Amino acid sequence: MRVHPNMPERLSRELPAVRGSRICIGSRSDGYQYAERRFMVTRRCLDALENCGCPVSVMTKSDLVARDAPILREIGAEVMITVTSLGRKESLIAEPGAPLPEARLEAMKKLAGNGVKVSAMVFPVTSMLRGKEKELAEALAESGAETVYAGDLRVRQADADPLGRRGIAISPETLERIADECSGKGLRVIRISPP
């Protein structure tokens, strides 16, 4: 991983050309990776966006995003946090090195409690959530999420075999149950399709 410490300054120079356009942080690479604790590049980019008048979205798997709740509220950002499992074991299998689900849900609560619009990215939905659809919907509703973006897993056969060895499989029926349970909890559900 390479850190780009001059990104906030570059962003400030380029903002006039994109006024009014949506700015999305984390669509290519998570802006809240571990290096962010030290370098605070994403935080300084948010400061640069404070008066730009652009709508801002932040996508992350990290609970570190809660640190920036005041500036995220100030700029009216929507924060989308990925939650693909509820259990510690499943999380370590599917997303080694990423913050555990309970830390992400707690970050969502902190953000929502500070007036930040919070959404959940339940993508991809896999067999790891089978039988836990109701529990997931309850956890997301309690976290303060307003919207759930949910989609299934599409894999090439070359990728399916290693996933299968880890006990992870495509589960369209789980996606349907999650959508139903989340809707039943008053959450807005938006289906997303992988490329």
Residue range 7-191 in CATH 3.40.640.10: no
Contacts of 41 (CB under 8 A, 6+ apart): 3, 4, 5, 7, 8, 31, 35
Q: Is this structure's pTM higher than 0.75?
A: yes
Q: How confident is the prediction along the chain (195 residues), in pLDDT tens digits per residue?
A: 678 888 899 988 988 888 888 999 998 899 999 999 999 999 999 999 988 888 999 999 999 999 999 999 999 999 999 999 999 998 988 888 999 999 999 999 999 999 999 999 998 898 899 999 999 999 999 999 999 999 987 766 556 677 777 778 888 899 999 999 999 999 999 999 866
Beta bridge partners of 150: 122, 191
How large is the angle between the packed helices 172-184 and 133-143, nearest 10 degrees? Answer: 40
